[in-house]
């Protein structure tokens, strides 16, 4: 099942995609798609809804974040060995955890605001893991039972900010640095989260072309590992890392985003996103 929220920012309605890819309005069955609805029981209730009986949404509405109630946006750094190599960093012996501010989250096609003072704005296509039930010190064997589904993410990064200290959060949590969606694809529709093709283009040029198969630490391991260090709650997101091809790693010189650039990205079965880089509203003109 592909769940979403659509409509004007702040007034989104719940929706789902039917078997023919048409957007259907779920408002008659729920007022919104909240973190509490991502539990197995909540998803069973939604699965029981016959899409054919729901109104078709015409046109091309804006997609918002697919669900509400995220308390933590957990990121995993350097989780692809070839990305670690292009960054000139050692392959980690255990997952590297950092946090992206929840306030960075936005709809999948919102403009990316270049922060004030930004000089090295970068891109990272990532698989997002969405938690459906509380996970605290769970085993790898049980880890996937806590996953509600998966979504497409762009871990937008400001490298100059990120590399100013050993803590990466400052370069990861700016407004609009967390596009999510367009959909939450429930776990039953993703046969193997370690076998998904992923890609990212900048101004129509392919920059990243990878697969979740080359993760160092897979989804099962990450959910278990993170749950030992912080309790994961329904609606929490784990961003699982990015394959090579980020701007920072381009040869012979790094290539960073500038105002007017358009980033398009996708993951097999999880949809696509498009963001245009715009100036910060307080930037000197």
| 10-46 per-position pLDDT tens digit | 999 999 999 999 999 999 999 999 999 999 999 999 9
Superfamily of domain 73-279 in the CATH hierarchy: Fumarylacetoacetase-like, C-terminal domain (3.90.850.10)
Residue 215 has pLDDT above 70, yes or no: yes
Peptide bond into 5 cis (omega under 30): no
Q: Is the dihedral of CA 167, 95, 109, 119 positive or negative?
A: positive
Sequence spans of domains, the chain:
2-53, 73-279
Residue 285 is predicted with a pLDDT of: 58
Distance of CA 141 to the CA centre of its chain: 24
| 170-197 per-position pLDDT tens digit | 889 999 999 999 999 999 999 999 999 9
Q: What is the C-alpha separation between 52 and 203, in angstroms, rounded? A: 38
Token pair 């990015």 in the structure block, residue:
242
Q: Are 210 and 198 in contact (CB under 8 A)?
A: yes
Token pair 């909240």 in the structure block, residue:
34
Q: What is the C-alpha separation between 18 and 57, in angstroms, rounded? A: 11
Residue 261 is predicted with a pLDDT of: 98
Residue 165 has pLDDT above 80, yes or no: no
- Altogether, the residues listed in the chain come to a count of 285
Residues 6+ apart with CB under 8 A from 11: none
Residue 284 has pLDDT above 70, yes or no: no
Residue 266 is predicted with a pLDDT of: 98
């Amino acid at each position: 099942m592909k769940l979403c929220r659509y409509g004007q920012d702040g007034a989104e309605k719940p929706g789902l995609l039917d078997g023919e890819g048409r957007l259907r309005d779920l408002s008659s069955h729920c007022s919104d798609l909240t973190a509490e609805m991502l539990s197995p029981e909540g998803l069973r209730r939604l699965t029981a809804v016959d899409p054919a009986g729901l109104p078709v949404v015409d046109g091309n509405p804006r997609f918002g974040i697919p669900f509400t109630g995220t308390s933590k946006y957990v990121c995993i750094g350097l989780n692809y060995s070839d990305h670690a190599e292009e960054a000139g960093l050692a392959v980690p012996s255990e997952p590297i955890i950092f946090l992206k501010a929840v306030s960075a989250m936005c709809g999948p096609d919102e403009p990316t605001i270049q922060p004030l003072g930004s000089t090295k704005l970068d891109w990272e296509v990532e698989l997002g893991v969405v938690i459906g039930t509380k996970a605290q010190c769970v085993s790898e064997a049980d880890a996937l039972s806590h996953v509600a589904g998966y979504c497409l993410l762009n871990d937008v990064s400001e490298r100059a900010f990120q590399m100013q200290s050993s803590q990466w959060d400052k370069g990861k949590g700016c407004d609009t640095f967390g596009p999510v969606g367009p959909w939450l694809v429930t776990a039953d529709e993703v046969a193997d989260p370690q076998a998904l093709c992923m890609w990212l283009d900048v101004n129509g040029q392919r920059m990243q072309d990878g697969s979740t198969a080359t993760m160092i630490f897979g989804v099962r391991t990450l959910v278990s590992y993170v749950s030992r260090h912080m309790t994961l709650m329904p609606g929490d997101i784990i961003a699982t890392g990015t394959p090579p091809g980020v701007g920072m790693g381009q040869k012979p010189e790094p290539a960073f985003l500038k105002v007017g650039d358009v980033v398009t990205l996708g993951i097999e079965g999880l949809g696509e996103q498009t963001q245009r880089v715009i100036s910060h509203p307080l930037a000197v003109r």
